[in-house]
A and B are shown apart, each in its own frame.
Chain A
Amino acid sequence: MHAEHPRLLSVDGLSVRFRHHPANIVDDVSFTIGAGETLCIVGESGCGKSLTALALMGLLPKPAAQVAAGRAVFEGEDLVALDESRMSDIRGNRMAMIFQEPMTSLNPAFTVGDQIAEAVRRHRGVDRAAARGRAREMLEQARIPAAEKRLDEYPHQLSGGMRQRAMIAMALANDPALLIADEPTTALDVTIQAQVLRLIRQLQAERGTGLLMITHDLGVVAETADRVAVMYAGRIVEEGPVAAIFDDPQHPYTIGLMGSVPSLGRRSGRLETIPGLVPTPEAMPRGCRFSTRCPFAAAVCAETPALTEIAPGHRVACARAPIELRVAEDAA
């Protein structure tokens, strides 16, 4: 499918279920990430994108949530089937994650250096001095000035941007093959956002790390993605190369999402919004989950549409795609 990237992670039919909830919160999600490739999962809050990431890391809030079905093969091992001990050997080592909230994601009681060195010692079995050396090196690579001094500082002594850089340093300390970044810039000031994104991009390119970027921000998508998966109500509704998603969106939800982005230049009319709300798990419609808000919905939408390839590498889960054609047919 993508010859330039040997396959790193391939997720197949992943579903996550919450206890006492009738519908899967993540439902039958499939995607792949190649080595060094960036896949952005984009969608609004509550669409299941963060839960997908936590499921891959084995960090779902147990026992409330659990993987109900599917496989996630990472470097030859199915993450879903692994026991906790093997999973913890992979976490923070071959596969690492950074989170949305740099202010609360670091432990306030330990120094930054301690927290990075801890990850190195856990997976590399090196002594304290070597781990500290690696921590300093990582802070330098994360472009944190006066790295030596920062090692002995506590998280509260660092700004939000610096903390996120420290989180990145921590996540990449063991040279993971895959980095999962869950809204890494959402909590930061706009000027800092661009710097942190650039840093992630640079470090990723230097190391050939695969990146799963989770975001609701289409600006971040445009900045980072090779490919994009659009999630709506727990399902991937469209997936393809970044250019195809921006220039030729096919799913009505993706089209709506693109229409709701402000752009520079003269604005014609009001910013588009998608009418209605994301359905709650209790009120999840049968078939296509977007059908209750879709302007193009028809009888056929009562059946779950499969992700179908409509152009090379561009897949969409809509019975009515390609839309232009169908709408023209309807009119005729």
Chain B
Amino acid sequence: MLGFIGRRLIIAIPTIVLISIFVFALQKLLPGDPVLAMAGEERDPEVLEFLREKYRLNDPIPQQYLHWMGGVMQGDLGVSLRTRQPVLELIAEKLPVTIQLAVMAMTIALMIGIPAGILSAVHKGGWIDWLANLFALSGLSVPNFWLGIMLILLVSVKLGWLPASGYQPLATDPLRSIQTMLMPAFVLGTGLAATLMRHTRSAMLGVLRADFIRTARAKGLRERTVILKHALRNALVPIVTISALLFGELLAGAVLTEQIFTIPGFGKMIVDAVFNRDYAVVQGVVLCTAVAFIAMNLAADAAYRWLNPRMREQG
């Protein structure tokens, strides 16, 4: 298993390098100049030139990339062109927020999506299936910003149960922190639950037709054991895949939801950075997201080998 993870990590390196080149190049194609944004109203040519020199914007692009990459290797993601804060520091500030939101949203998604998918597959064609599909359809079609605003209106304004916005770090006041995150996590989570439910349902429907399910029933096992042990274990492979991808997406930040609930996560930071042509921040965040995605995929691959013994013999 360790050998497998080691091999996969080595394969991940060129992937990350390619992504970084791609992001670096794509940014340079964008119209707009960060120096103009920094220099303010006056735009003194000398100041502009000074800034360009300082941030090496006059160097050939490959050289700029190598310089940046050299820094990354040493744990230096550069400095924000706008706030002059180190990018690493900015990320370290936002990452816990995004991770907390992602974990809470994912927990809600899994807790709703998987049971709903199992129930609707087992009762295919019945009213439970119909209800679950209705939920999935609404989950997929109701936009997050609308649901978020409606929730604030109902839960915070009318009922006064939860704070409408604001963020409290988990370390300083855990209860308050979870309270403030509950609604945004719910908004994100129900949307993902719909996707998860659909995938769980179709995976379970496929497995429930398998011969080994008939064998399990022929042994006299209780239906609960047949479904939750024999069927679910085999249906988990696609569910794990989709969960890993969804979690990766959550780690990249949720722009609209963060905006509505004024949560200082990745989503807002990257949008601001793109608008300001804050190259160093965009690169840093994208690199960070790419690493998170690769890590999630690696975790999913490791999970397959646990779920499916046939894959353990392959390298």
Residues in A lying within 8 Å of B, measured CB to CB:
57, 59, 84, 88-93, 96-97, 99, 101, 104-110, 118-119, 122-123, 154, 156, 167, 170-171
- Pairs A–B under 8 Å by Cβ, sample size 5: A91-B219, A106-B212, A108-B309, A122-B220, A154-B310
Per-position contact with A for B218-236: 1 when CB-CB < 8 Å, else 0?
Answer: 1111110100001001100
Task: Tell me the residues in window 193-228 of chain B with beta carbons closer than 8 Å to chain A beta carbons.
Answer: 210-212, 214-223, 225
Cβ 8 A contact of A108, one of B218, B221, B310: B310
Among B217, B225, B307, the residue within 8 A (CB) of A109 is B307
B residues bordering A, Cβ < 8 Å? 210-212, 214-223, 225, 230, 233-234, 307-310
Q: Which residues of A contact B307 (CB under 8 A)?
A: 109
In the complex, which residue of chain B has the Cβ closest to the Cβ of A96? Answer: B218
For B215, what are the chain A residues with a Cβ–Cβ distance below 8 Å?
99, 105-107, 167, 170
CA–CA, A88 to B220, complex, Å?
A: 4
Q: CB-CB < 8 A to A88: which residues of B?
A: 217, 220-223
Taking a contact as CB atoms closer than 8 A, the residue among B211, B219, B309 that contacts A122 in the complex is: B219
A59–B214 alpha-carbon span in the complex (Å): 7
Residue numbers in A under 8 Å from B221 (CB-CB): 88, 92, 118-119, 122
For the residues of B in contact with A, the DSSP-based class is helix
A108–B308 CB distance below 8 A: yes
Per the bound structure, the CA–CA distance linking A239 and B256 in Å amounts to 74
- Chain B residues with Cβ below 8 Å from A97 are 218
Given contacts A107-B212, A108-B310, contact A59 B217 (CB under 8 A): yes
By the criterion CB–CB under 8 Å, are A105 and B220 in contact?
no
Q: Cβ of A154 and Cβ of B309 under 8 Å apart?
A: yes
Distance A156 CA – B230 CA, assembled complex (angstroms): 16
Contact A109 B234, CB 8 Å, known A104-B210, A154-B309, A154-B310: yes
**Residue A107 contacts which of B216, B218, B220, B223 (CB distance < 8 angstroms)?**
B216
Residues of B within 8 A of A122 (CB): 219-222, 225
List residues of chain A with CB within 8 A of the CB of B218.
57, 59, 91-92, 96-97, 99, 171
Interchain residue pairs A-B with the least CB separation, the first 3: A92-B220, A92-B219, A91-B220
Nearest CB in chain A: distance from B204 CB, A: 14
A153 to chain B: closest residue by CB: B309
Q: Please, how many angstroms separate the alpha-carbon atoms of A171 and B225 in the complex?
A: 18
The residue in chain A whose Cβ has the minimal distance to the Cβ of B236 is A109
Contact indicator B310/A118 (Cβ below 8 Å): no
Contact A118 B219 (CB under 8 A): yes
Write the chain A residue with the least CB distance to B232. A109
By a CB distance below 8 angstroms, the chain A residues around B217 are 59, 88, 91
**Extra A-B contacts (9), CB below 8 Å, given A57-B218, A88-B223, A99-B215:** A91-B218, A92-B221, A97-B218, A105-B212, A106-B212, A107-B212, A108-B309, A118-B219, A122-B220
Give CA–CA (A95, B234) in the complex, Å.
Answer: 27
Known: A107-B234, A154-B310. A99 touches B220 (CB 8 A): no
Cβ A93 vs Cβ B220 within 8 A: yes
Q: Which residues of B contact A101 (CB under 8 A)?
A: 211
CA distance A109 to B217 in the complex (A): 16
